[in-house]
Amino acid sequence: MLLQGNEILQKAHKEFYGVGAFNFVNYEMLRAIFEAAHEASSPIFIQASEGAIKYMGIDMVVDMAKTMARSYPHIPVALHLDHGTSFDSCKNAIEAGFTSVMIDASHHEFEENLEITKRVVEFAHQRGVSVEAELGRLMGIEDNISVDEKDAVLVNPKEAEIFVKESGVDYLAPAIGTSHGAFKFKGEPKLDFERLQEVKRLTNIPLVLHGASAIPEYVRESFLSTGGDLKGSKGVPFDFLQESVKGGINKVNTDTDLRIAFMAEVRKVANNDPTQFDLRKFFTPGIEAMKKVIVERMHILGSAGRI
Ligand code: PH4
Ligand code: ZN
């Protein structure tokens, strides 16, 4: 059975650990996530973006998630809409069976973000669904960024306090210097942990880290060794992830690491045997590679062994 997102994150919030929220666009990713959760005895968030929903079809996403959840009844799991861009997008996901939605209106002015989020919260809560919202913009921060520039893109803790009180949102994604994809930082990785702690202190709800892929060295190496190109790529180091969890992050969004790990294996099979065209020969090692990345992450975030 799919659980309400808040059931999983309230526990993580009280006990100060992070739960991996893994994106999926097909059966192989979903299977890797569940097998990893089983192996590490960890709760999970499985999440689909609007792009993933468009690719798979919303009923396929929900049915696949429910079928997997039924096969692993001991694993606490929530099905989450990642980066819902409108009220209608969240409403459709809720009506289809999602148990958690993100309304991402962070590109709007504060007041408008608040209004849209309030509407989603009201609709979702009446139906037992949890809601995530975002404040600030997802982008890396440079070493030489000025205080004013930083304040313009990162979350404002005082605003976060007001936003959470007035919207009734269940969890919040505060921008603290991460970004999506494989190229997160130009120089040394840098996140604003003080700002994060302040947001946690003032809101006292579960917090979410977007753009949290680490691109572990062995994953990068594996991709490069097959002739892949990841020049200039940089993820969030493991010790930063742990520092984030200490600072109050409870949901840790991860997609890029899985994509790279999977594609490295596909490339490997294609390079090693140009005559191969059995899909299972490509995807089986791909699933194993993603599983390894996920299990490792569960240990780093502290969600392993929580069930
Ligand atoms: N996400 C994943 C967003 C995926 O449109 P799309 O399916 O490509 O969207 O919300 C993350 O925060 C993942 O961060 P990562 O890139 O560091 O894995
Ligand atoms: Zn994201």
**pLDDT one-digit tens code per residue, 46-93:** 999 999 999 999 999 999 999 999 999 999 999 999 999 999 999 999
Name the residue type at position 298. M
- For residue 27, the surrounding DSSP H or E stretch is helix 27-40
As a whole number, mean pLDDT of residues 215-243 equals 97
Band (172; pLDDT cuts 50, 70, 90): very high
Distance 50 CA to ligand 1 centre (A): 11
Whether 23 lines ligand 1, by a CB cut-off of 6 Å, is yes
pLDDT digit string, tens, across residues 249-271: 999 999 999 999 999 999 999 99
Residues 60 and 78 sit within 8 Å (Cβ to Cβ): no
pLDDT of residue 139: 83
pLDDT of residue 89: 98
Q: Flag whether 119 is in a domain.
A: yes
Whether 253 lines ligand 1, by a CB cut-off of 6 Å, is yes
Residue nearest ligand 1's atom 4 by CA: 49
pLDDT of residue 30: 98
Q: Flag whether 282 is in a domain.
A: no
Extended beta strands in the chain, E state? 19-23, 44-49, 77-84, 100-103, 130-135, 171-174, 207-209, 249-254
Burial of 179 (0-12, 13-18, 19+ CB in 10 A): middle
pLDDT of residue 194: 98
Q: What whole-number distance in Å separates Cα of residue 252 and Cα of residue 304?
A: 14
Q: Flag whether 264 is in a domain.
A: no
**Residue 207 pLDDT > 80, yes or no?**
yes
Q: Flag whether 164 is in a domain.
A: yes
Q: Which numbered atom of ligand 1 lies nearest the CA of 179?
A: 17
pLDDT of residue 43: 98
Q: Where is pLDDT greater, at 290 or 145?
A: 290
Distance 184 CA to ligand 1 centre (A): 12
Q: Flag whether 10 is in a domain.
A: yes
Whether 52 lines ligand 1, by a CB cut-off of 6 Å, is yes
pLDDT digit string, tens, across residues 107-126: 999 999 999 999 999 999 99
Number of structural domains in the chain: 1
Distance 272 CA to ligand 1 centre (A): 30
pLDDT of residue 151: 84
**Residue 154 pLDDT > 80, yes or no?**
yes
Whether 83 lines ligand 1, by a CB cut-off of 6 Å, is yes
Q: Where is pLDDT greater, at 186 or 62?
A: 62
Residues acting as catalytic residues: 82
**How confident is the prediction for the chain on average, in pLDDT?**
97
- CATH of residue 174's domain is 3.20.20.70
Specify the pTM: 0.97
pLDDT of residue 21: 99
pLDDT digit string, tens, across residues 160-169: 999 999 999 9
Distance 236 CA to ligand 1 centre (A): 14
Q: Which ligand is nearest to the CA of 22?
A: 1
Q: Which ligand is nearest to the CA of 50?
A: 1
**Residue 142 pLDDT > 90, yes or no?**
no
Q: Flag whether 275 is in a domain.
A: no
Q: Which numbered atom of ligand 1 lies nearest the CA of 25?
A: 7
pLDDT of residue 28: 98
Q: What whole-number distance in Å separates Cα of residue 143 and Cα of residue 169?
A: 32
Q: Which numbered atom of ligand 1 lies nearest the CA of 181?
A: 16
Q: Flag whether 111 is in a domain.
A: yes
**Residue 152 pLDDT > 90, yes or no?**
no
Q: Flag whether 263 is in a domain.
A: no
pLDDT of residue 130: 98
**Residue 141 pLDDT > 80, yes or no?**
no
Q: Which residue segment(s) compose the domain that 105 sits in?
A: 5-217+232-255+288-301
Whether 180 lines ligand 1, by a CB cut-off of 6 Å, is yes
